Structure 1
Amino acid sequence: MIHEVDEVLKGLLSGGALSGSGIDVAFDAPTRDWAARRNSPTINAYLYDIREDVNRRQRGHVAVHDERDVIVKRRQPPRWFRLSYLVTAWTKRPQDEHRLLSAVLATLIPRELIGPSELPGALGALGLTIPLSVAGIQTESRSLAEIWSALGGELKPSLDLVVTAPFPAYPEYDAGPPVTEGAAVRVRTLDDAPVTDERAHRPSQVAAVREARAAARTTDRTP
């Protein structure tokens, strides 16, 4: 699931306002060593935090359909996880980095939601829309200063990008065979003999059959 989100982000960051610019998109940790090896303008999206969005947790079961739209399995609802990325721009001049960050904002701000048709693999198969937020208020326990300190680098202008993605819950349980016939009631006579080809699907039909047979028996006993 995480690598599929990376794939989606790479497509977004390579398009929009940056389409045709030839800017590299990397997911490496932006350490001093990485920065020293970089030799071209780059947008870096470093995944620094993964945690469940417990407010989205659901109970019950979700039906799994086959190609005929028949329910074949059931599973628990997916669990949602917040993937937090530290987005930075790397060039030789701060002004160019600021231009790249502006282009990233122009590209991502309109994309508050990503539809299933834009999602690859198992992520798209879930048929769910995933939210995306950029440069929002940071509510995680890790501050940006702590992140840069852990990376061994100097504090740099950055955007906090959060993608909340579903992760399938397992195991799956086989569903019972589909119902192909309606409910049927077989009527018997007083001597417990089955009535041939007698079916009724509603209580009113059952009552009508019983009344008709009771009337027939009364007529037969009349002298």
Structure 2
Amino acid sequence: MIHEVDEALRRLVRDEALGEPAVEVSFEAPTKDWAARRNAPTVNLYLYDIREDMQRRQRGLVNAYDAEGAVTARYAPPRHVKLSYLLTAWTQRPEDEHRLLSNLLTGIIRHEALPPAMLTGSLAALGLPVPLSVALPPPQDRSFADVWTALGGELKPSLDVVVSSPLDAARRVAAGPPATEGMRITVGDDEPVGHLVPPDAARDGAPPRVAMVRRRTHR
């Protein structure tokens, strides 16, 4: 799933946000050694945080139906995982980096989700939106300065790109066949309620029985 988000972001950055094939797109950690090795204008998308999107978690199971409308299985709804990328531009001049960042911000902010045409593999198979945000304030438990300190580099202008990617929980429970025989409910004038008794509980070949409980009505 992560590599599929990487590929979608690569296409979004290169084909839509920039439109400049001469600019490289890298997912390597932007350390000092990496910066010294590059020899062309580069946009770096560094994945620095992975955590579940708790606001999108759903409880319970979802029914799967066949062509006749019968329940065939129950499965857990997909989870969502927030993938946070540090987006930076690397050129020889700060002015060019700022121009690239401006184009990236303009090209990404117009999308509330990754374009469906750019999704592949399991993301495309799920058929669910993949929410996308850019330049939002980071959570209180982390800061970009801490990320740069961990990378051993100097603080650099950057954009925070967050993708909330659905992930198939792969938990399914088979459903038994619907009960169609061996049960009977009768309703009389005195409003009895029938408690169902399966046919194997009947004795001596007696038909399926119904335990009746009368419900009193206060007038």
TM over 0.5: yes
Code of the residue aligned with 1:154 in structure 2: it is E
How has the CA–CA distance of structure 1 residues 155 and 73 changed in structure 2, closer, same or farther, with 3 Å as cutoff? same
- State the partner residue of 1:62: 62
| Cα displacement string for residues 116-175 of structure 1 (whole angstroms, at most 9, x for unaligned residues) | 454211111111111111001111512111100000000000000001111111222234
Moved more, 109-118 or 155-164: 109-118
Map 1:91-102; keep pairs closer than 5 Å: 91-102=91-102
SS at match of 1:3: helix
**1:132 aligned onto 2:132:** yes
TM-score, length basis structure 1: 0.74
Contact 2:79 2:168 (8 Å CA) reproduced: yes
* Structure 1 residues 66 and 122: alpha-carbon distance in aligned structure 2, compared to 1, 3 A threshold: farther
Question: Displacement, 1:64?
Answer: 5.0
Q: TM-score when scaled to structure 2? A: 0.75
- Structure 1 residues 64 and 143, CA gap change in structure 2 (3 angstroms): same
How many Å apart are 1:177 and its aligned residue?
A: 5.5
Q: Please name the residue that 1:217 is paired with.
A: none
Taking the aligned partners of 1:69 and 1:94, their CA distance within structure 2 comes to 61
Name the larger-Rg structure: 1
SS in 2 for 1:113: coil
CA RMSD of aligned residues (A): 3.0
Is 1:119 the counterpart of 2:119? The answer is yes
Rounded to whole Å, the distance in 2 between the matches of 1:146 and 1:163 is 21
CA contact (8 A) 2:78 2:168 kept: yes
Q: Is the 8 A contact 2:17 2:108 kept in 1?
A: no
Give 1:71 deviation, angstroms: 6.3
Question: d(CA) in 2 for partners of 1:169 and 1:50?
Answer: 16
- In the alignment, structure 1 residue 82 sits paired with structure 2 residue 91: no
Please list every run of 5 or more consecutive structure 1 residues that lacks an aligned counterpart in the other structure: 186-191, 195-223
Correspondences of 1:14-29 after superposition (within 5 Å): 14-29=14-29
Tell me how far apart the structure 2 counterparts of residues 115 and 65 of structure 1 sit (CA, whole Å).
29
CA contact (8 A) 2:65 2:73 kept: yes
* Paired residue type of 1:110: R
Contact 1:75 1:173 in 2 (8 A): yes
- For residues 68 and 10 of structure 1, the distance between their equivalents in structure 2, rounded to whole angstroms, comes to 43
Higher helix share: 1
Task: Report how many aligned residue pairs link the two structures.
Answer: 189
Aligned pairs for 1:185-196 within 5 A:
none
